[in-house]
Structure 1
Amino acid sequence: MRVLVVDDEPLVRGELVYALGKVASDAVIDEANDAIEALRALAATPYDVAFLDINLPGLNGLEATRVIAALPSPPQIVFVTADDSRAVDAFELAAIDYVVKPVSQARLARTVERLRASRAPGAAHAAPAEIPRRVALEDGERTRLVKVAEIRYLQANGHVVTARIGEGDLRWKGSLADAAARLEPAGFLRVHRAYLVNPERVVEVEPYFGGSYLLRVDDKLRSEVPVSRNFLPAVRRALGL
């Protein structure tokens, strides 16, 4: 597997290259300091995947991906970024994964597994994501296995992500971007930079300021979830509004 790692921070880039070498020992890994350098490398060499930071100087990672998509044989794209609010933009550009820094080897190993599955003989351009039936959530010192269908929504508050179930909140072990990558194949919908909602649990839609909406879910409190204007088109499609 031929890999290009693109990040303008040498230390961060080096750590990612090292971790990739651990979880993908067969990978041939090259590095680029910015999008322009990456585009030159991609024009000269066929790569299987590019790991791109979003916040690059000059041309950012999202803008670079639009250029990369026009290449004769574009690589698959994995975004690796400290910004967990751009996952929707990333997946609209057909990124195969969105990983939030700091990156653990376990998280990176899941990305590599997804890449290998998508490149297997007979696979489509991108392998279908696994649809989880249960997820592990933290309840104090305990870990509970909760059916995905029981989750009403997930909310990010700084670096803490909670999942609302019928009787209250449990802690999601990861970022909201990780939750989106895991749960969007199960139908969950990003409706706000801080919220991921299960549309099957939405029971009311109320018009809100600026032409947006408040969604009410079917927990005991009829909790409200705001919809950001950036996500209105996707929400309207999903809920038939």
Structure 2
Amino acid sequence: MNILVCEDNLIQAQALTSHLQTFDYVQRVDVVTTGEEMISVVLEKNDITALFLDIDLPGMNGLEAYGILKMQGCDIPAILITGLRPAASDTYHLGIVDVVEKPYLTPRLEEALKKLRLHIEHQNFIQAGGVYVPVITDELALLSPKDILFFEAGARELKVHTLHNTFEAKYIPLKIYEKYLRNQGFVFSHRAYLVNTRKIKYIDHTDIHFIGDFQHVASVAEDKLSILKKILQRINMSPI
């Protein structure tokens, strides 16, 4: 989760950032101090997962800035961290996930983060067409198709690679995953690799590189290369 904090009080912003960075599912926390800056960063970076924003900001207030982002099609969930209690109707219509009043204690922040994660999971579920991918390790994990880069079948194991994790899956064969995810853009690039074509960045000879991932590559067999390139061209991507 990449979080953008919009708070003009730098001491409070640093305290909130320190709190958020203690959670292992938070990858990055950035800080801005004005609503205008928040709009600019969200539109430029295009990888912000959630917003934590104050209302009382210099110039444009937090709710106004968030409303502008909404009008521009940015459906990023937000938590209000504020000393001003806004009208419930204002936050409801904007889609604010939770309102945390200052001063707050750690349990209250954890409660807001739990709501935020559930909201994001629900968004991912809807965006994926109501599909979750079951991955059985020592426990059952339910992944959104858009979070999976590729499946890799070994002699005795099946690995599921996401942007931030690799799961060693059990019991479900690769062919079953292929049938289940065929309509989600997954294709065999090799008999041992099932790749998410919507996450491919480029193909270098026989290696497939993925958007946002610099560590893992999948293989493409010669007899699959031309088919894969046609698929990428169809979704307006450069295959090379």
Give the TM-score, by structure 2 length.
Answer: 0.48
Which structure is larger by alpha-carbon Rg, 1 or 2?
2
Q: Which has the higher contact order (CA 8 A, sep 6+)?
A: 1
